[in-house]
């Protein structure tokens, strides 16, 4: 069917039922980033963009450029590692039952600094245990994942770099902080609640955290990892978050 005809039919349907795209069917994934890998792009109204994604099973997420009125459709998991900064861009994912074994997978991430694009913050939730994240050398470096929703946590598993010696020991003394609100930014890190600190004499390859050692409830939307006293760098391979 012709694209223009479909858009007109969708527009009629939206005005008849009201635009529920972003409020009831989809949740905001992030703003001001254009993720590459979209399979279709066209100019339309924002309600039609969301309705179009809802209409076709192939579409797993959509983005809308509010300034240029462009709609971007995606299939499969969003890869937050590959993006361009685009102001007024908003990306939405549907409300769906997700795998509670790892609610951090492919979620938006940020860190205080990135050593390179290949070791950017998204590498810690890309389901690849051959990649890793690394900050620049700076005190109090932090990494954060936005889980989109608040979860009661079952465990948080951090995979360290497995090369023996100095490289693996750079994670020693790291801290885990949790936040229910705010953002993945410096203010959010400052306001987050302390949950766990590594006190092991020998650095581990896998850290499996099942509860806070403080009075903080094991519940979060934002999870922060902060580098320890052993190094000004922050790097690790992957973070898994299991929810109840």
Are residue 69 and residue 130 in the same domain, yes or no?
no
Domains identified in the chain, total number: 2
Domain boundary among 27, 60, 94: 94
pLDDT for 166: 52
Segments forming the whole domain that contains residue 128: 109-243
CATH number of the domain within which 8 lies: 3.50.4.10
For the segment 185-225, what is each residue's pLDDT rounded down to a tens digit?
999 999 999 999 998 888 888 999 999 998 899 999 999 99
The answer to the question of residue 100 being in a domain is no
Are residue 60 and residue 175 in the same domain, yes or no?
no
Are residue 117 and residue 221 in the same domain, yes or no?
yes
Pairing of strands 61-65, 70-74: antiparallel
pLDDT for 16: 47
**10-residue stretch averages of pLDDT, the chain, 244 residues long:** 56 50 73 91 88 86 95 89 89 82 93 86 91 86 94 96 66 92 94 94 89 94 84 86 95
CATH number of the domain within which 117 lies: 2.60.120.260
């Amino acid at each position: 069917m012709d694209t223009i005809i479909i858009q007109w039919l969708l527009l009629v349907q939206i005005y008849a039922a009201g635009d529920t795209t972003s409020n009831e069917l989809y949740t905001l994934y992030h703003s001001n980033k254009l993720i590459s890998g979209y399979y279709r792009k066209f100019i339309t109204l924002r309600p039609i963009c969301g309705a179009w994604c809802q209409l076709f099973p192939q579409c797993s997420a959509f983005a809308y450029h509010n300034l240029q009125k462009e709609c971007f459709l995606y299939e499969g998991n969003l890869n937050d590692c590959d993006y361009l900064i685009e102001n007024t861009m908003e990306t939405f994912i549907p409300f769906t039952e997700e795998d509670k074994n790892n609610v951090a997978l492919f979620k938006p991430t940020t860190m205080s600094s990135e050593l390179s694009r290949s070791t950017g913050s998204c590498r810690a939730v890309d389901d690849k245990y051959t990649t890793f994240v690394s900050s620049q050398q700076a005190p109090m470096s932090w990494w954060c994942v936005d889980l989109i929703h608040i979860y009661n946590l079952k465990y948080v598993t951090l995979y360290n770099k497995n090369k023996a010696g100095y490289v693996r020991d750079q994670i020693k003394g790291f801290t885990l902080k949790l936040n229910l609100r705010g953002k993945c930014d410096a203010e959010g890190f400052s306001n987050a609640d302390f949950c766990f600190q590594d006190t092991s004499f020998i650095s581990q390859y896998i850290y499996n955290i099942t509860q806070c050692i403080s009075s903080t409830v094991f519940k979060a939307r934002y999870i922060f990892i902060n580098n320890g006293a052993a190094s000004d760098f922050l790097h690790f391979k992957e973070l898994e978050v299991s929810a109840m």
